[in-house]
Chains A and B, each alone.
Chain A
Amino acid sequence: MASAGAALKKAFFAAFVTFGLAFPIVALRTDANLSNQLVLTERWPLAFGLAGIALFGTLLLEMLGPAIRARTASKTAPSTAPPHPFLAYLPRLGLLLLLAFPFIATGIAAAGGPGVLKVMDNYGIQILIYVLLGWGLNIAVGLAGLLDLGYVAFYAVGAYSSALLAKTFGLSFWITLPLAGILAAFWGLLVGLPVLRLRGDYLAIVTLAFAEIVRLVLINWVPVTGGYAGISSIPKPSVLGYSLGSEPTGLAATLGLPRITFMYYLLLALALFTYWVTTRLRTLPVGRAWEAMREDEIACRSLGINTFKTKLSALAAGAFFGGLAGAFFATHQGFISPKSFEFMESAIIVAIVVLGGLGSMLGVAIAATVMIGGTELLRELDVLKAVFGGDFDPAQYRMLLFGLAMVMLMVWRPKGLIATREPTVRLTPEPRRGAPAAVAAE
């Protein structure tokens, strides 16, 4: 069979290439010996193993290839059909889940899972922060099409300014929170002013450079920022004298709830506020102008839209929510340092926005849950230890798999998980597939 021969040839080629890739970097490991000299450890079986995986993997793909191709081909037609009915209910379902999460976490803990605090912190709060950041950045990247690679800078500005305001002036969280947002938005304007007149691609590099500058200043301006040591014992928000924090004297603990509950609901409220503002802005002229600008900037200008101001507003609005997220992060952790504001964070947030589907709020939430929750979950999987041996540390592979997942998801769905766009205004009511109307007609 000719195709089998070709598949075999392809598989051997893949194996050969894999071996070439693995040859020095995997097969030979460098380690310092006792006298601090580098020596090589040979690990040939590992390199051959990888090549073997490539061989059989390619063979398998070649055999299943036609089936996969047939399936993807039918998907390429542009979808104007209404989204799957499940998607319409997903936001409500998600909201319900989010509201009930502290109780679910208690359940998980009671069922013998990790502790409530851990579940709430690692999953609930961790994911929600990224959802919030993703929704904020979504304004700039998803709606306005401005690639901001330095979003973490606004997050940092929010965190540091709220922490410093709280610690030096003793301001309450309820005042530092909006101030953090406003200051971040102000920095958004400041960065945008010089670069938004330039070609689009430059925005990416200048925002990236800006974020690096912010991080370096945070590291080096020790008298104010504390340098690498950062700022600690940032006060928790309080209501009527009761702290919302997770200390034993906090409100939640007093009420007998999981101690982190109120921080979680505070974050949820912030996220819902962001959701509300963003969906609202989308239907306003400024939001429509953002989307129009993403589609065709020149056409926008021909319709009298000042694209410079419109871009500035998108950057500043996105930065505002980054600032809010930063303020929450600071008060929740009680400690901040430059370590939390590295480029990797920006990359993760951009990835969440793009993987979710540009402009889709729901997509961003799903992407954040999958990417952040998934990598958090990896930490837990002790099962893998049993498979790969005792010294296998799944956490080590967390970011490796994160990067790989980014590439694969992008190749699989270049337009993101949710590629359908909901119009901001309709002339006729939305057609629903399998919606109640159709049921009633029967």
Chain B
Amino acid sequence: MDYFVQQLINGLTLGSIYGLIAIGYTMVYGIIGMVNFAHGDVFMLAAFIALILFLLLTQLLGIGSLGLALLIVLVLGMALTSLWGWVIERLAYRPLRGSFRLAPMISAIGMSIFLSNFVQVVQGPNNKTLEPILSNVINLPIGNGSATLAEKQLLIMVVTAVLLGVLWYVVRHTPLGRAQRACEQDRKMASLLGVDVDRTISITFIMGAALASVAGLLWMTYYGVVSFSDGFVPGVKAFTAAVLGGIGSLPGAVLGGLLIGLIETFWSAYFTIDYKDVAAFSILAIVLIFLPSGLLGRPDVEKV
């Protein structure tokens, strides 16, 4: 039982990170129907930015308080990653809007290749290992045994929950969110009604990048290792999560992320770690066959 709870905690932690990345995929897909392939690499870039900022603050500027340092990294990292998100959309995707379906996707794949190689060139190909932080654990007695909840795990879950709350409020209750939902439904009509579509799409990319930045920071805190090639696998898994939850649906992305995190963790814990990714991808295929629109997605009626 304690082992089970321990895996549950680990799974939810990992799932939170996937969920944060998945939101970026699902929001962009919802608004322009494009799979933003470079999003995983934006996440990786964000993890690097977080790492560098953290080192800058603690080593060069000598900020002693860990909490303060992390807070500054969070805010500054979000700003800088958002800038990347904005520039990428502006240069690589916007010129292709209204072009044929595969064009932006190919551009995104190119951007993904560019980003990972760019980071490799400027930061070197080695893994970057940070000394563990926030590793104190809280013991949770369960039955005869106990499970541990590390401070960083708690941080990850709390930050994710708070951010989701904020995001939910923005999308549901602000003019910006209304504009986003309008663009999702009918971009042309929205623009006729005075919604600045380009700006709304830009902001969607910025929001996705900001969330990826948080995911990057959390990833860096959790694992303490980043490498230029870390964008692909978490990216694909997060996209899998978005599809699993129903692409276009925000709660779906989070649910999908948590599920993928849990599946991966439990599979490794109870079966074999070798095939954990196979398990995650197979479940995606199975869900798609039986629930074509994902868990929380709207079924789409084909327009004839």
Hey, which bits of chain A sit against chain B, CB under 8 A? 17, 20-21, 23-26, 28-32, 36-40, 141, 147, 194-195, 197-199, 201-202, 204-206, 208-210, 212-213, 216-217, 219-220, 298, 343-344, 347, 350-351, 354-355, 358, 396-397, 399-400, 402-407, 410-411, 414-415
Contact of B122 among A25, A208, A410 (CB under 8 A): A25
| B interface majority secondary structure | helix
Cα A415 to Cα B110 in complex, Å, equals 15
Give every chain A residue within 8 A of B119 (Cβ-Cβ): 25
Known: A204-B35, A396-B121, A410-B96. A216 touches B277 (CB 8 A): yes
Q: Please determine whether A40 and B277 come into contact, CB atoms closer than 8 angstroms.
A: no
B137 in contact (CB, < 8 A): no
Of the A-B pairs whose beta carbons lie under 8 Å apart in the complex, a sample of 20, sorted by A's number, is: A30-B48, A30-B123, A32-B126, A38-B130, A194-B289, A205-B239, A205-B243, A206-B285, A210-B285, A212-B236, A213-B278, A213-B282, A220-B275, A400-B120, A402-B110, A403-B112, A403-B114, A406-B107, A407-B114, A411-B95
- In the complex, the answer to whether B96 meets A411 with C-beta atoms within 8 Å is yes
Closest beta carbon of chain A to B69's beta carbon, Å = 14
Measured CA separation A404–B91 after assembly (Å)? 11
Given contacts A206-B285, A208-B236, contact A25 B110 (CB under 8 A): no
Note all chain B residues with C-beta closer than 8 A to A194. Answer: 285, 288-289
CB-defined contacts of A23 to chain B, threshold 8 Å: 80
Q: Which of B80, B95, B128, B285 makes the CB contact (< 8 A) with A24?
A: B80
Question: CB of B171 within 8 A of chain A?
Answer: no
- Are B55's CB and A40's CB within 8 A? yes
CB atoms of B236 and A24 under 8 A apart: no
Shortest distance from the beta carbon of A182 to any chain B beta carbon, whole Å: 23
Are B52 and A25 interface neighbours, CB within 8 A? yes
Contact of A202 with B110 in the complex, beta carbons under 8 Å: no
Which chain B positions have C-beta within 8 A of A396?
120-121
Complex CA–CA separation, A32 to B4 (angstroms): 37
B51 interface contact, C-beta 8 A: yes
A357 to chain B, nearest CB (A): 11
User: Closest Cβ of chain A: how far from B96's Cβ, in Å?
Assistant: 6
A410 with B118: CB separation less than 8 A: no
Partner of A351, one of B45, B106, B121: B106
Task: Name the CB-closest residue of A to B247.
Answer: A201
Indicate if B186 sits at the interface (CB-CB under 8 A): no
A195, B53: Cβ atoms closer than 8 Å: no
Q: Is the CB of A212 within 8 A of B275?
A: no
- B275 near A195 (CB under 8 angstroms)? no
Q: Are A354 and B102 in contact (CB under 8 A)?
A: yes
Min CB gap A137→B, angstroms: 12
> Is A25 touching B123 in the complex (CB atoms < 8 A)?
yes
- Closest A residue, CB atoms, query B51: A30
Nearest CB to that of B280 among chain A residues? A209
Q: Answer whether residue B234 sits at the interface, using C-beta atoms and an 8 A cutoff.
A: no
- Which 10 pairs across A and B sit closest by C-beta, in order of nearness? A406-B110, A403-B114, A403-B113, A400-B117, A209-B281, A414-B99, A407-B110, A24-B52, A414-B103, A220-B274
A397 to B110, Cβ gap below 8 A? no
Cα-based distance from A410 to B232 in the complex (angstroms): 22
Q: Which of B59, B106, B288 contacts A40 (CB 8 A)?
A: B59
Q: How many Å from the CB of A353 to the closest CB on chain B?
A: 9
Contacts A37-B131, A202-B288, A414-B100; A28 near B52 (Cβ below 8 A): yes
Q: Is the CB of B109 within 8 A of A195?
A: no
Interface string of B133-169 (1 = CB under 8 A from A): 0000000000000000000000000000000000000
CB of A53, distance to nearest CB on chain B (Å): 15
The smallest beta-carbon distance between A326 and chain B, in angstroms, is 21
In Å, the complex CA distance between A198 and B300 comes to: 11
Q: Is the CB of B114 within 8 A of A400?
A: yes
B110 near A404 (CB under 8 angstroms)? yes
Contact with A along B6-41 (1 / 0, CB 8 A): 000000000000000000000001000101000000
The reply on B240 being an interface residue by CB < 8 A is yes
CB distance from B27 to the nearest CB of A (A): 15
Q: Beyond the given A25-B49, A29-B122, A147-B102, could you list 9 further A-B residue pairs with CB under 8 A, ordered by the A residue number?
A: A23-B80, A39-B59, A147-B105, A197-B292, A209-B285, A212-B277, A347-B113, A358-B102, A399-B117
Determine the distance from Cα of A402 to Cα of B282 in the docked complex, in whole angstroms. 31
Contacts of A201 in B (CB 8 A): 29, 33, 35, 247
B211 contacts the other chain (Cβ, under 8 Å)? no
Question: With A and B bound together, what is the CA distance between A282 and B113 in angstroms?
Answer: 32
Indicate if the CB atoms of A403 and B110 lie closer than 8 Å. Answer: yes
B288 surroundings in chain A (CB, below 8 A): 194-195, 198, 202, 206
B266 at the interface (CB under 8 A from A): no
**CB-defined contacts of B29 to chain A, threshold 8 Å:** 201
Chain A residues positioned under 8 Å from B111 (CB to CB)? 403, 407
When chains A and B are docked, how far (Å) is the Cα of A400 from the Cα of B125? 13
Give the complex CA separation of A194 and B109 in angstroms.
25
Complex partner residue of A410 from B49, B87, B103, B121, CB under 8 angstroms: B103
Q: A400 — nearest CB in chain B belongs to which residue?
A: B117
A383 vs B80: C-alpha distance in the bound complex, in angstroms? 35
* Interface check B56, CB cutoff 8 A: yes
- Give the chain B neighbours of A141 by CB distance below 8 A: 102
Of all chain B residues, the one with the shortest Cβ separation from A147 is B102
